[in-house]
Amino acid sequence: MIPLTDNTGLHFIGNEVFIGNIKRFFLKQNYNSDLNLFSTVGSEAGRAADSAFYDTIVIQKPITEEGKLIGVVEIAIKALRDADYKPDCILVPSNMLYMDEGFTDDERYVYDPNPVGEKAIPNSAGKFDGIPIFYTYSSSMENYVIVADFAKAFSMDYEKDDTRVNGLIDIRLKTLSYEEASTIAADNNPFELHPDELAIQAKNIQNGLDTITGIIANFKITDTKAFILSAVVDSRSPSKLTKIE
């Protein structure tokens, strides 16, 4: 998280990226240039929010079961339904679905991340037993899976401002002073630069912008019984589930 001053008690969740040689796109003749790099900045900011959400869960909620993916998912779904919750999402690491062939080969698994005629759903990986599956790239979730009644389990407090994108996404662009650029140029070179070369590199760096993109928010667990966090072992390990006390 990048610390930014605010009086709300919320945190800035996002990322800071330096984009080199971008000032030229702000010239009139380049207004219509396709800035694909900004989609990358946005994606990275989204992943930062993703990680902040999962960090909140993994830190605060103890693991309840460990075993193969299909085993822990079955147990979690049953436990939540028996407790009168309605599990409506399964959250897994991006590569986990294919570690357990028993999961993807099961007749309850349907691969339809973006059904024809429906709006594309980000990070969708199909359904299991009618429950949508979503994958994440968060390192916090490397060996874990979450089954949840999402709206009951989690919430987000956030700061809204009409000057932001969709009232939520904060985008800040910062130019670098010559002194800042000189420091970066010097730090990036293993040998001391001649003053003239240092000046050239500093000027080139000044053609870039420091971008800060994210949201001001906090993620919260509102009902610890509305979701189950499980550890998943390698698919080659025994399938017996072990209760973690």
95-126 pLDDT tens trace: 887 777 788 889 999 987 665 566 667 788 88
- How do residues 157-201 score in pLDDT, each as one tens digit? 888 888 877 777 888 888 888 888 888 888 888 888 888 888 888
DSSP string, 62-117: ---EEE-HHHHHHHHHHHHHHTT----EEEEETTGGGT-HHHHTSTTEE--SS-TT
* In the chain, domain spans: 11-234
**Pairing verdict, β 109-110 and 124-128:** antiparallel
Estimate the crossing angle of helix 195-205 against helix 178-187, to 10 degrees: 110
Q: In this structure, which amino acid lies at residue 64?
A: T
- How do residues 139-158 score in pLDDT, each as one tens digit? 888 889 999 999 999 999 88
Sign of CA dihedral 64, 67, 68, 71: negative
More confident of the two residues 101 and 77: 77
pLDDT at 195: 85
Strand partners, 156: 219
- Of the candidates 64, 66, 94, 58, the residue with the CA atom closest to the CA atom of residue 79: 64
Q: What is the pTM of this model?
A: 0.76
In the predicted model, what is the mean pLDDT of residues 89-94? 92
Rounded CA separation 85/10 (Å): 29
What average pLDDT does the chain have? 80
Rounded CA separation 118/189 (Å): 51
Distance of CA 132 to the CA centre of its chain: 18
- Could you tell me the two tokens for 131? 């429950």
121: left (phi over 0), alpha (psi -120 to 50) or beta: beta
pLDDT at 132: 92
**Residue 34 banded pLDDT, cuts 50, 70, 90:** low
In the predicted model, what is the mean pLDDT of residues 45-52? 83
pLDDT > 70: percent of the chain: 80
- Of the candidates 120, 101, 117, the residue with the CA atom closest to the CA atom of residue 109: 101
In the predicted model, what is the mean pLDDT of residues 81-88? 96
DSSP letter at 184 equals H
pLDDT at 117: 60
Rounded CA separation 141/123 (Å): 14
